[in-house]
Structures are given as structure tokens and as C-alpha cells.
Amino acid sequence: MRRSNPLKNGAARWISRRILLPVIGGIDGVGGLTLATGFSGHGFGTSPAAGQLAADLVMGVPPIIDPSPYRFDRF
């Protein structure tokens, strides 16, 4: 049986998940700026919910989902 390489068999994919998510929300220290960017090819499918989330954050109303996975400062 071959030895498993964690970088080829899942660990790298798990680590890169935060990179694959778009950035939706503000940037600390830059008032009045809200980003909704980095969707890659998934923007077509997720744009309605992403737009709603961005609008909720701009308006200061409770967001439709937890915005923390999409924060700019996750990097």
C-alpha cells in the first residue's frame, strides 16, 4: 500500500478553503468601504445571497448568515 501524502489528499484543500471564499464586508480602519469580491467562478451561483449579505452589512441590519467566514482580516 502506498503512503498517503496529506498535501495531496485533503490537507491542502482544507487549508485553502478560506482562500476560496469571497471577501464580503468592511475593512477595519477604512470607513464606508464594503467589499464583495473574490468569487472566482462561483459568483454566478452565489451572487444573490452575497448581494443580500453585503446589503445587510451596509445597512446595519442582522445579516442573513454569519459573515465571519467572509471577513477580509481572515488572511
- Residue 5 is assigned to a structural domain of this protein: no
- Residue 2 is assigned to a structural domain of this protein: no
Q: How confident is the model at residue 2 (pLDDT cuts 50, 70, 90)?
A: low
- Residue 37 is assigned to a structural domain of this protein: yes
CB-based contacts of 75: which residues, under 8 Å, 6+ apart? Answer: 18, 19
- Residue 1 is assigned to a structural domain of this protein: no
Residue 56 or residue 45, greater confidence: 56
- Residue 3 is assigned to a structural domain of this protein: no
Number of domains in the chain: 1
Q: Which domain holds residue 59?
A: 11-74
- Residue 36 is assigned to a structural domain of this protein: yes
Least confident of 21-25, 38-42, 61-65, 66-70: 38-42
Is pLDDT of 23 > 90? yes
CA distances from residue 19 to 1, 2, 16, 62 in whole angstroms, order as listed: 33, 30, 5, 25
